[in-house]
């Protein structure tokens, strides 16, 4: 079956590293606790941010199209679907590595259901094949059944981010488009695909600044929006 998402030129390849930080986990890398959904592939479990392993969901500001060509907020819909999944019971996550953004890379379950797999099966996220092929079969099933994103047309999240980065880089100093904002909520950085990116203004005289990567922003003491 022809892939239904719109392929873009070149995806942005951000360098990822492993950052070791103390984790509120058991010896086997398992943790459990209260949960808050940040987006369709990221949750906060207790005080720890968890990146669901092997999947990539639409960004919160991302829109997709139905088979009839109608635009719908697929990024927000993906988050809502994950919220419904975690409401079914206590969430437990297993994983012993962290990405460069201080998020644990993990597989999470609720009442025996694999949340990572459920997001793919429902068509609310894609298999993140660049890093894992674990959920390719689930994705193929969702595509054949025209579930979620597959019921219409969409950009893969990585292509969406790459396009936003390319456009934003052309209008900012030294092709460094990440906005390091300072507000009452602290030092927060906004990527070009952040919902609040366009409305955020940078005042360098007040200590605000531009960053060339999320890793650079985190190292300087900024954090992503919640």
24-72 pLDDT, tens digit per residue, is: 444 445 556 689 999 999 999 988 999 999 999 999 999 999 999 999 9
* Confidence check: pLDDT of 125 > 50: yes
Asked if residue 65 lies in contact with residue 152, where contact means CB atoms within 8 angstroms, the answer is: yes
Q: Please tell me whether the overall predicted TM-score, pTM, comes out greater than 0.85 for this model.
A: no
187, burial (CB in 10 Å: exposed 0-12, middle 13-18, buried 19+):
middle
Long-range contacts of 105-109 (CB under 8 A, 24+ apart): 105/51, 105/53, 106/29, 106/31, 106/50, 106/51, 106/52, 106/53, 107/52, 107/53, 107/54, 108/43, 108/45, 108/50, 108/52
What's the mean pLDDT when you consider all of the chain? 86
| Confidence (pLDDT) at 33 | 64
pLDDT digits (tens, 9 = 90+) for 149-197: 999 999 999 999 999 999 898 888 788 999 999 999 899 999 888 888 8
Residue 1 pLDDT exceeds 70: no
* Phi, psi for residue 115 in degrees, rounded to 5: -65, -40
Whole-number pLDDT of residue 30: 58
Q: What is the per-residue pLDDT for 220?
A: 92
What was the pLDDT predicted at 13?
34
Domains of the chain: 5-154 (2.40.50.90), 171-219 (no CATH)
């Amino acid at each position: 079956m022809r892939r239904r998402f719109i392929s873009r030129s070149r995806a942005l390849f951000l360098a990822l590293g492993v950052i070791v930080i103390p984790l509120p986990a058991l010896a086997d890398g398992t943790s459990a606790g209260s949960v808050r959904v940040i987006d369709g592939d990221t949750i906060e479990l207790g005080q720890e941010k968890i990146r669901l392993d092997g999947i990539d969901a639409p960004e919160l500001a991302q829109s997709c199209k139905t088979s009839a060509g109608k635009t719908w907020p697929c990024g927000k819909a993906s988050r809502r679907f994950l919220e419904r999944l975690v409401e079914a019971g206590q969430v437990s996550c297993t994983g012993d590595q962290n990405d460069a953004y201080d998020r644990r890379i993990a597989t999470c379950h609720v009442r025996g259901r694999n949340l990572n797999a459920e997001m793919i099966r429902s068509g609310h996220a894609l298999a993140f094949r660049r890093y894992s092929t674990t959920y390719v079969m689930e994705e193929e099933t969702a595509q054949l059944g025209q579930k979620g994103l597959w019921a219409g047309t969409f950009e893969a999240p990585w292509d969406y981010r790459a396009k936003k980065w390319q456009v934003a880089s052309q209008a900012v100093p030294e092709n460094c488009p990440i906005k390091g904002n300072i507000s009452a909520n602290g030092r927060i950085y906004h990527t070009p695909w952040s919902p609040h990116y366009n409305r955020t203004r940078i005042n360098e005289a007040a200590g605000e600044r531009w960053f060339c990567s999320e890793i650079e922003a985190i190292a300087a003491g900024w954090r992503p929006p919640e």
